[in-house]
Chain A
Amino acid sequence: MPKLNRDTRTDVTFTLNGKKVTARSEPRLLLTDLLRHELGATGTHVGCEHGVCGACTVRIDGEPARACLTLAAQAEGADIQTVEGLEPEPGGMSPLQAAFREHFALQCGFCTAGILISLKALFDRKPGASEQEIREQLSGHLCRCTGYTPIVRAALAAQAQMREEEPRNA
Chain B
Amino acid sequence: MKPAPFDYVRAASLDEALSALHEAGDEARVIAGGQSLVPMLNMRLARPSVLVDVMRIGELARIEHRKGMITIGAGVRQAQLERWAPLAGTLPLVASMMPWVGHAQTRSRGTVCGSFAHADPSAELPLALLALEGEVHLRSKKARRVLPAADFFLGMMATAAQPGEMVEAIGLPAHGIGTGTAFAEVARRHGDFAIVACAAIARPGGAIRLAVGGVADTPQAIALPDPSDPDFDDRLNEFAWALNARDDLHASARYRRDLVRSLGRRTVEEAVSCRS
Contacts and interface: CB of A to CB of B under 8 A. Distances in A.
A and B touching (Cβ–Cβ under 8 A): yes
A59 to B, nearest CB: 9
A137 B191 CA distance: 11
Given A51-B35, A74-B55, A139-B190, A68 B7 contact: no
A60 interface: yes
B106 interface: yes
B5 A7 contact: yes
Contacts of B161: none
Contacts of B41: 28
Given A50-B43, A70-B34, A60 B10 contact: no
Nearest to A51: B39
A28 B38 CA distance: 10
Contacts of A76: 10
Contacts of A49: 1, 39, 42
A80 B53 CA distance: 19
B79 interface: yes
A2 interface: yes
Contact of A27 (B7, B34, B106): B7
Interface string A38-75: 00000000000111001001001001111011110110
B4 interface: yes
Given A1-B9, A1-B20, A69-B34, A140 B191 contact: yes
Contact of B39 (A6, A50, A64): A50
A5 B170 CA distance: 31
Contacts of B276: none
Interface in A111-155: 118, 122, 136-137, 139-141
Interface in B106-157: 106, 108-109
Contacts of B20: 1, 3
A4 interface: yes
B191 A139 contact: yes
A71 B12 contact: no
Given A28-B2, A28-B5, A50-B39, A60 B109 contact: yes
